[in-house]
Amino acid sequence: MTTALPLTTSDGVSIIAWHDPGPAELCFVLAHGFTGAGGSASIRAVAARLTGSGGVLALDLRGHGLSGGESTLGDLEIHDVAAGVAAARELGYAKVATIGFSMGASVVVRHAGNVGADVDAVISVSGPAFWHYRGTPAMRWVHRTIGTRVGRGFARIARGTRIAADGWQPAPEPPDVVAPRIAPVPFLIVHGDQDGYFPLEHAHRLQLAAGAAELWIEADMGHAEAAATPALVARIAAWARGSVGVGESRTTG
């Protein structure tokens, strides 16, 4: 049964994690994409597929869903992931794998690249390698949304996403700068060849920067959690269990 778990981050923001209990060997901490939420239908579908392989803590990142604070678009959200990982340990899970989608992918990469990050495996799905990309119509829309008062108002009213108005002060290190620091933690990069936000250049650049990362290019896959098929989620779960040394997955329908 899914329960809402209130957490407080190290910088004092109150957030919500949606906990689905599973095998105690492993917990998946999920970080959604921009304007998403841990309780959204697409993340709930991913969580349902993962619970045969471990527990799940699906975060409402700051400024999203039922969490407090304002979205900093991948910057301070590393504290949200850290709170989720700590909660998974407190719940008794032996291993923790972080999975991020789109914006959430940049967050789990940056969290894992921080010195002392307590994580056993990292999965980036449809994530950017670098900031300020405007090469697709979808990303031009994102930048119009976050960069204007009208856009931020639309995101708040239409999607319930509260975006910090003052931007990055200063800009955080991008994923491709942080990625080399993830090793020796197992690192998987998953990217669709039909991604309408970030082209494959991002996936290849992230893998090149990381050095030891594994890269899956998924045929006919679009973007982020909405494009994650049951078969792909099952493969990710199996990779995570194998990478952290807890054996094969238990299939969930």
Question: Two tokens at 156?
Answer: 């708040």
Residue 244, helix vs strand vs coil: helix
Domains of the chain, earliest start first: 3-133+173-244 (3.40.50.1820)
Q: How many angstroms separate the CA atoms of 145 and 136, rounded?
A: 14
% of the chain beyond a pLDDT of 90: 94
115 pLDDT band, cuts 50/70/90, is: low
pLDDT of residue 247: 75
Give one DSSP letter per residue of 188-209, joined into a string.
EEEEETT-SSS-HHHHHHHHHH
Calculate ∠ Cα 122-125-130, nearest 5°: 90
Question: Two tokens at 126?
Answer: 């449809």
pLDDT of residue 157: 96
Residue 101, helix vs strand vs coil: strand
Residue 100, helix vs strand vs coil: strand
Q: Which residues, 6+ apart, have CB-to-CB distance to 147 below 8 Å? A: none
E strand residue ranges, the chain: 3-8, 14-20, 26-31, 55-60, 95-101, 121-125, 187-192, 214-218
Mean pLDDT of the chain: 95
Sign of the alpha-carbon torsion through 166, 171, 115, 205? positive
Question: Two tokens at 213?
Answer: 């990362």
Per-residue pLDDT at 11 exceeds 90: yes
Q: Which residue has the tokens 């999975």?
A: 99
pTM beyond 0.85: yes
Q: Which residues, 6+ apart, have CB-to-CB distance to 109 below 8 Å? A: 100, 122, 124, 127, 175, 178, 179, 182, 206
Amino acid at 7: L
pLDDT digits 0-9 by tens, 150-209 = 999 999 999 999 999 988 989 999 999 999 999 999 999 999 999 999 999 999 999 999
251 pLDDT band, cuts 50/70/90, is: very low
